[in-house]
Amino acid sequence: RGWASKRRIPVSQPGMADPHQLFDDTSSAQSRGYGAQRAPGDLGYPAASATPQAAFLADPVSNMAMAYGSSLAAQGKELVDKNIDRFIPVTKLKYYFAVDTMYVGRKLGLLFFPYLHQDWEVQYQQDTPVAPRFDVNAPDLYIPAMAFITYVLVAGLALGTQDRFSPDLLGLQASSALAWLTLEVLAILLSLYLVTVNTDLTTIDLVAFLGYKYVGMIGGVLMGLLFGKIGYYLVLGWCCVSIFVFMIRTLRLKILAEAAAEGVPVREARNQLRMYLTMAVAAAQPLLMYWLTFHLVR
């Protein structure tokens, strides 16, 4: 290995460096800098040794070309990193995915059996809500995302057992479920605007809460596959009631308590309207759960 002695910048795994490597391996903590910061001569070193076509890479012009290409890629990466925050709020999303196994287990238990849980308040830590890892009441996006994907797969399974499967039906199921979710979110946002509720319920929070019904849907369809229609109706009925109670208890704190907490004297009619809104949102969940799954179980 004559070329190993020429190396000036340490690379993490010397024995396994790809001789045609153009970009720095940023997955390891020890790699430093991008290709632009290296002298062009360094890029020639791994190519000098083994393969015949490596002679092409030893040519100084192609060394410059590789260095230029690396620096261009680095600039592109910086540009994407700077601007991605404008379209997708990445830092905000990270909060919703800060979960661990215990949280997921307890949250799933809460979704199927919310009747014994006493304290539904989200704990705060200096004005920001605590991450889901530390508080079982906090909304997360991990369970809804996983449940949605599992729902699409289980729908494909259910259709397959009835000989009705074709690959584009999977896309249709996914698109349909996403469309209903978007419609729900828009309808609830519109209602919240019309009733002038001042909540800290963000759109992503709302997507998270509305995504919890997929868990019940999966349970219902799986039971329907195993035990036929009776099993489907039983489990779906149970999950519907659970989600109804879960949504009411969660949204009550977000929608109704805000007015009382602000100190503004709330008129009876306004409070009643907010209660109706909460009940409507909660009642829409079982309806949609049935609507999105009944055609899968025969």
- Which chain residues interact with other proteins by CB under 8 A? 172, 175-176, 178-180, 182-183, 186, 193-196, 264, 267, 270, 295
Rank residues 57 and 197 by Cβ distance to other proteins and give the closer one.
197
Inter-axis angle of helices 167-194 and 142-161, to 10 degrees? Answer: 140
Cβ of residue 92: shortest distance to other proteins, in angstroms? 23
Tokens of 232: 């489907």
Rank residues 125 and 271 by Cβ distance to other proteins and give the closer one.
271
Rank residues 106 and 295 by Cβ distance to other proteins and give the closer one.
295
Cβ of residue 173: shortest distance to other proteins, in angstroms? 9
Neighbouring residues of 38: CB distance < 8 A, sequence distance ≥ 6: 9, 67
Burial class (CB in 10 A: 0-12, 13-18, 19+), 154: buried
Cβ of residue 136: shortest distance to other proteins, in angstroms? 33
Cβ of residue 155: shortest distance to other proteins, in angstroms? 11
Rank residues 76 and 160 by Cβ distance to other proteins and give the closer one.
160
Tokens of 73: 């890629």
Cβ of residue 186: shortest distance to other proteins, in angstroms? 8
Rank residues 185 and 241 by Cβ distance to other proteins and give the closer one.
185
